[in-house]
Structure 1
Amino acid sequence: MEKTWIVVADSTHARIFYACNRVQPLTPVTELSFPEARLRTQDIYSDRPGRVFESADESRSAMEPPDVRDQQQHAFAREICEKLDAGRNQQKFAALMLVAPPAFLGAMRHSMNSQLGKMVEKNVQKNLVMEEESRIREYLFN
């Protein structure tokens, strides 16, 4: 296990660690946050949904609002992957481990380019972003 970065993330916060081996403590590399994901629904949607007029008759119906939470989650996943890709380009790591809830893990995998995707050695579908480093190590190395 040489030059491994560990990403522990959820839809609002991400921590990236460096692990040089299985026994030494994880070294923090950086933290990213996405405070917009914490907004209340009424703060995201400013008004009522728009209306659609049917051309065949005079009926109207409301348009479905876009899923802003899902868009925010994918935007944050892209931000994390851009940071990881920059590290890959600078050869700061040779392998990746991802720890995230299932939905966000999927968003991250979807946002990765093929070179970065090939570097992923392990996925853990768990929300450990607020856990201590020792607890994260238990899930990764046991």
Structure 2
Amino acid sequence: MAELKEGTWVVVTDSEKALFLRNLTDHEDPNFEVVSKEEQENPPSREQGANRPGRMNDNGQGQKSAMDDTDWHQLAKERFAADLSDRLYARAHRGDFDSLVLVASPQVLGNLRESLHKEVSDKIIAEVPKTLTNHPLSEIEKLVKSELDAA
């Protein structure tokens, strides 16, 4: 079972914002403080694309097919995970944390895992596959503790 020691960092993220938290106490009575917040504005794809999707010629006279438009919204989500992993690497390299708990939806955790540096991966003590970015801090403390207790 992973335990929240004093100084453990908890990163609560979705694909558009991240809360960097530090545990000030112990596992029995976690008390998180906000170290920093990161947020990315990511409007729907339809608001980000400049042009209509293109069309291409098919086999056959006068036949055309529509091409898929770029999913700008999804690209921004993936770029956010890569940027977050770079921020975590910089913080780990500076020695800001020795242990880390990642809290995100399974999909975001997957995107993060792909881009995390080994120096950060080695410090992860637990992953919580839940989206908690819009929860109050006191609720995040309870939910993270209960998830770690159940593991």
Structure 2 unaligned spans of 5+ = 147-151
Partner residue of 2:149? Answer: none
Contact 2:30 2:145 survives alignment (8 Å)? no
Please, which of 88, 91, 99 is the counterpart of residue 103 of structure 2? 99
Matches within 5 A, 1:15-54: 15-20=19-24, 21-22=26-27, 23-35=29-41, 37=42, 39-54=43-58
- Aligned AA for 1:89? H
SS of corresponding position for 1:30: strand
Contact 1:124 1:139 survives alignment (8 Å)? no
Q: Give the Cα separation in 2 of the matches to 1:78 and 1:104.
A: 11
Per-residue deviation, 1:86: 0.7
Q: Give the Cα separation in 2 of the matches to 1:25 and 1:2.
A: 9
Please, which of 111, 124, 136 is the counterpart of residue 140 of structure 2? 136
- Aligned AA for 1:69? H
Contact 2:45 2:71 survives alignment (8 Å)? no
Q: Give the Cα separation in 1 of the matches to 2:106 and 2:30.
A: 28
Contact 1:74 1:111 survives alignment (8 Å)? no
Contact 1:51 1:61 survives alignment (8 Å)? yes
Per-residue deviation, 1:69: 2.1
Per-residue deviation, 1:30: 0.5
- Aligned AA for 1:91? G
Aligned residue pairs, count: 139
Q: Give the Cα separation in 2 of the matches to 1:67 and 1:92.
A: 35
Percent of aligned pairs with the same residue?
A: 26
Structure 1 unaligned spans of 5+ = none
- Aligned AA for 1:100? A
Alpha-carbon RMSD: 1.7
